[in-house]
Amino acid sequence: MNNNQNPQIGQFVQIIRGRDAGQYAVIVGIVDSKFVLLADGDKRKFDQPKKKNLIHLQLQPTISSEVVNSLDESGRVTNGKLRFAISKFIETTAIHVEKGE
């Protein structure tokens, strides 16, 4: 697993352990070196992020600039923006997988 890189706010992750395994989410907070706060705007809202151990996550190489900008500007991000960012990310990832990249 590639957990040697540091998680960043706005980074996409795939959950690989727990009830939400297989789902994608966005890092909306960093607790410490082991834990991050995740939200997907759907089951896991920004106001009640899920605290997740990094060993249960697969960090994706993509960071959502929309989420980062929104957090920088107002300290929060709307659930709609989270859902949109994740669906856009999944769409572009699926296209790469189909092409075999």
Q: In the 3-class helix/strand/coil scheme, how is 23-72 assigned residue by residue?
A: CEEEEEEECCCCEEEEECCCCCCCCCCEEEEHHHEEEEEEECHHHHHHHH
> CA 69, CA 77: separation in Å to the nearest integer?
9
Q: What is the CATH number of the domain that holds 64?
A: 2.30.30.30
Q: Give the pLDDT of residue 5.
A: 74
Confirm whether 1 is domain-assigned.
Answer: no
Domain count within the chain: 1
C-alpha closest to that of 13 among 48, 64, 68: 64
Residue 91 lies in a domain: yes
Q: How does pLDDT run across 50-90, given as a tens digit for each residue? A: 999 999 999 999 999 999 999 999 999 999 999 999 999 99
Is the residue at 6 inside a domain? no
User: Is position 86 within any domain?
Assistant: yes
State the Cα–Cα distance between residues 6 and 2, nearest whole angstrom.
10
- What is the overall mean pLDDT for the chain? 91
Domain assignment present for residue 5? The answer is no
Report residue 3's pLDDT band, with 50, 70 and 90 as the boundaries: very low
42-63 burial string, b = 16+ CB within 10 Å, else e? Answer: eebebeebbebebeebebeebb
**1 or 7, which is more confident?**
7
- Which segment of 6-10, 17-21, 77-81, 92-96 scores lowest on mean pLDDT? 92-96
Please determine, for residue 2, whether its predicted confidence score (pLDDT) is greater than 50. Answer: no
In a domain, 70, yes or no: yes
Q: Name the pTM for this structure.
A: 0.90
- Nearest residue to 56 via CA among 20, 10, 6, 12: 20
Which structural domain range is residue 74 located in? 11-99
